[in-house]
């Protein structure tokens, strides 16, 4: 596992974007696994800027997103389809038919089947991740067991509280979401996890300073992957107690 420490959250976003861009530059037909949320938001302007400077083209790139809230239509301001269009897709030359975000407004079981099929026929070269305050990746919340494949997850109370800042009130936050399972995430060729904020320190300690793998802290399952890069800013690294290094 590689740990990259930067001077700031902004620098971390630039580092994560550069890793994604390097994948696309080496393979113009790459498939990118993408994430949403507050932490990932800072990554996309760098991808857009690289396109505007003609440093990269997304014309042949395919993308698959981690998850989507159940009950939100694609044009809802807080849907992840709206997020991706707003921060990335609408500003580059990507073919909309080459982007996949699971639908939260379709019948659930057919959408699970469709999502699972997409993940089979569009293998991801790299998967961008954030991490929740409870250690979730995607919407794989802590529990006695975790699901390997695509499923509908019930959001943890900590996740609902954390996401309430994007809605008018906590009551408006959807309580369920369709998400990649942990097994799906681990199928990506590379994984890039971006983290910031002192509230993430405890779960990052479990990931980066312990050999323990536990479903109670889902991000610890990333230790089972052969190619993971964790990017965090210097202040968070200090709180976690890590330095830039490769770990085996």
Q: Which two tokens stand for residue 108?
A: 């659930």
The catalytic residue among 67, 111, 125, 156 is 67
Concerning whether 134 is annotated as a catalytic residue, the answer is: yes
Please tell me the distance from the alpha carbon of residue 218 to that of residue 129, in angstroms, as a whole number: 12
Which residues make Cβ contacts (< 8 Å) with residue 225, sequence separation at least 6? 186, 191
Concerning whether 67 is annotated as a catalytic residue, the answer is: yes
Q: How many CB atoms lie within 10 A of CB 233?
A: 21
85 burial level (CB within 10 Å; 0-12, 13-18, 19+): middle
The catalytic residue among 15, 125, 134, 140 is 134
DSSP string, 162-180: HHGGGSSSGGGS-SEEEE-
Is 227 within 8 Å of 189 (Cβ atoms)? yes
Of 25, 107, 31, residue with least CA distance to 65: 31
DSSP string, 58-103: -TT-EEEESEEETT--TTSTTSHHHHHHHHTGGGS---GGGEE---
The catalytic residue among 136, 140, 151, 156 is 136
Please tell me the distance from the alpha carbon of residue 221 to that of residue 207, in angstroms, as a whole number: 8
Concerning whether 136 is annotated as a catalytic residue, the answer is: yes
Q: Which two tokens stand for residue 230?
A: 């964790």
Please tell me the distance from the alpha carbon of residue 55 to that of residue 244, in angstroms, as a whole number: 28
Is 106 within 8 Å of 71 (Cβ atoms)? no
The catalytic residue among 125, 141, 156, 233 is 141
Query: Active-site residue numbers?
Result: 67, 134, 136, 141
């Amino acid at each position: 596992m590689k740990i990259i420490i930067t001077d700031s959250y902004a620098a971390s976003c630039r580092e994560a974007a550069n890793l994604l861009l390097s994948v696309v530059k080496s393979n113009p037909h790459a498939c990118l696994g993408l994430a949403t949320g507050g932490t990932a938001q800072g990554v996309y302007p760098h991808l857009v800027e690289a396109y505007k400077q003609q440093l990269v083209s997304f014309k042949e790139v395919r993308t698959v997103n981690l998850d989507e809230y159940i009950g939100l239509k694609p044009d809802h301001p807080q849907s992840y389809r709206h997020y991706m269009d707003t921060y990335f897709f609408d500003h580059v030359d990507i073919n909309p038919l080459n982007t996949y975000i699971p639908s939260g407004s379709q019948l659930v079981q057919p959408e699970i089947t469709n999502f699972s099929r997409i993940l089979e026929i569009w293998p991801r070269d790299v998967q961008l991740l954030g991490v929740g305050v409870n250690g979730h990746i995607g919407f794989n919340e802590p529990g006695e067991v975790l699901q390997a494949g695509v499923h509908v997850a019930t959001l943890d109370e900590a996740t609902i509280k954390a996401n309430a800042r994007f809605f008018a009130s906590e009551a408006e936050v959807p309580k369920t979401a369709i998400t990649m399972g942990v097994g799906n995430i681990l199928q990506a060729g590379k994984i890039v996890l971006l983290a910031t904020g002192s509230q993430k320190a405890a779960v990052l300690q479990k990931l980066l300073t312990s050999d323990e793998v536990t479903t109670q802290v889902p991000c610890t399952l990333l230790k089972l992957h052969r190619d993971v890069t964790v990017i965090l800013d210097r202040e968070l690294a200090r709180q976690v107690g890590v330095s830039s290094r490769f770990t085996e």
